[in-house]
């Protein structure tokens, strides 16, 4: 009986070791890949594809709603939100390997968490957590053991130098981008100033850290101009606001930078009024459609067929085994070169 107990302990230990090893040896993609969400089976799942839209492969296979995927700085993990717990929490954060295997929860205790982003060094994440009193920005270590509330808002975006987090505040028609100093926790309203009728989504720092992209709708009354939401870029110091796409086009949302910083991914409604993923090179007025998923009109006149997630390129990635002496600030500088 004693030998049997030792054997069972050995088997359990070996199983845990295999799980640990599979995580350690998860390989980043060897070529550039875009991770995104698609509803092509009337259930949102995580997919990857090449930057030209080819090679679309499904990663998650679960009846739950899997959304908001984002690459780790090394490309070895994908962080995403899912409602796999179903009750009583609507969704929480999960990690998986780039091939969709080894799915595991970030936190031991479920809360309503989503819209997560990585810190530049890959050691922390920032995310939105919904509570009875509203939506808040939290940061936590990637092992889920240390969680801290830092601001009221949503849609966090961590700057490449690791010093600031941009996020949205001011619902529902006074939205603005606020920037928080990670070290001091001080906040400042970044844009627009003064606040005007405004609806915004998805602020994101450029890889160099000198610009922020976002979508903006600012014609009153907002509900009569909802189709004019479009993409803007502004300098880090708040100067040189630039409209990237025409507000005469269908609704555009969720912009994402390419690792080189010269191209944007974004969502735009197609001829069937379904969101598809497009990309546009900065300085160009011609966009390229990457997805063309047909979704039956079972959810009304507007439905998310595909949604841009994150763009990874091993040529611009954090080294797989970063040196302890390589600070977040140093990495932000290296990444832009």
In contact, 211 and 235? CB cutoff 8 Å: yes
This prediction's pTM: 0.84
Per cent of the chain over pLDDT 90 is 61
Q: Which of 170-174, 177-181, 275-279 has the lowest mean pLDDT?
A: 170-174
Predicted confidence at residue 333, as pLDDT, reads 46
* pLDDT tens digits for range 78-119: 999 999 876 656 789 999 999 999 999 999 988 999 999 999
The pLDDT confidence band at residue 41, using thresholds 50, 70 and 90, is confident
In contact, 273 and 302? CB cutoff 8 Å: yes
Predicted confidence at residue 336, as pLDDT, reads 47
Per cent of the chain over pLDDT 70 is 82
Q: Which of 16-30, 136-150, 160-174, 232-246 has the lowest mean pLDDT?
A: 16-30
Closest CA to 251 of 268, 266, 237: 268
A 10 A CB-CB count for 269 gives: 18
The pLDDT confidence band at residue 332, using thresholds 50, 70 and 90, is very low
Q: From residue 328, how far is each of 164, 204, 325 by CA, in Å?
A: 12, 18, 9
309: left (phi over 0), alpha (psi -120 to 50) or beta: alpha
Predicted confidence at residue 297, as pLDDT, reads 57
Q: From residue 134, how far is each of 24, 112, 152, 170 by CA, in Å?
A: 37, 11, 8, 11
Report d(CA 188, CA 166) in Å as an integer: 10
Residue 35 pLDDT > 60 = yes
In contact, 288 and 280? CB cutoff 8 Å: yes
Residue 74 pLDDT > 70 = yes
């Amino acid at each position: 009986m004693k030998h049997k107990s030792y054997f069972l302990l050995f088997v359990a230990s070996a199983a845990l070791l295999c799980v640990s090893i599979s995580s350690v040896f998860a390989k980043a993609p060897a070529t550039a890949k875009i991770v995104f969400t698609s509803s092509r089976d009337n259930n949102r799942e995580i997919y990857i594809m090449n930057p030209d839209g080819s090679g679309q492969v499904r990663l998650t296979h679960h009846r739950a709603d899997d959304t908001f995927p984002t690459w780790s700085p090394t490309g070895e993990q994908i962080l995403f939100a899912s409602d796999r717990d179903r009750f009583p929490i609507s969704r929480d954060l999960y990690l998986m390997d780039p091939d969709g295997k080894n799915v595991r929860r970030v936190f031991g205790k479920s809360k309503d968490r989503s819209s997560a982003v990585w810190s530049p060094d890959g050691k922390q994440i920032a995310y939105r957590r919904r509570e009875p009193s509203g939506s808040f920005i939290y940061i936590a270590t990637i092992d889920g053991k240390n969680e801290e509330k830092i601001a009221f808002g949503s849609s966090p975006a961590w700057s490449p130098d690791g010093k600031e987090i941009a996020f949205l505040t001011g619902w529902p028609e006074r939205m603005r981008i606020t920037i928080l100093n990670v070290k001091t926790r001080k906040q400042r309203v970044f844009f627009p100033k003064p606040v005007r009728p405004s609806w915004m989504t998805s602020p994101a720092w450029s890889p160099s850290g000198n610009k922020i992209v976002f979508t903006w709708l600012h014609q009153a009354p907002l509900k009569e101009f909802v189709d004019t939401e479009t993409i803007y870029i502004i300098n880090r110091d708040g100067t040189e606001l630039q409209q990237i796409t025409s507000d005469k086009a269908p609704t555009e949302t969720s912009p994402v930078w390419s690792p080189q910083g010269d191209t944007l991914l974004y969502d735009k409604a197609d001829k069937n009024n379904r969101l598809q993923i497009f990309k546009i090179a900065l300085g160009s007025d011609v966009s390229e459609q990457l997805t063309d998923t047909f979704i039956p009109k079972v959810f009304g006149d507007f439905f998310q067929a595909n949604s841009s997630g994150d763009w990874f390129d091993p040529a611009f990635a954090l080294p797989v085994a970063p040196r302890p002496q390589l600070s977040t600030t140093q990495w932000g500088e290296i990444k832009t070169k």
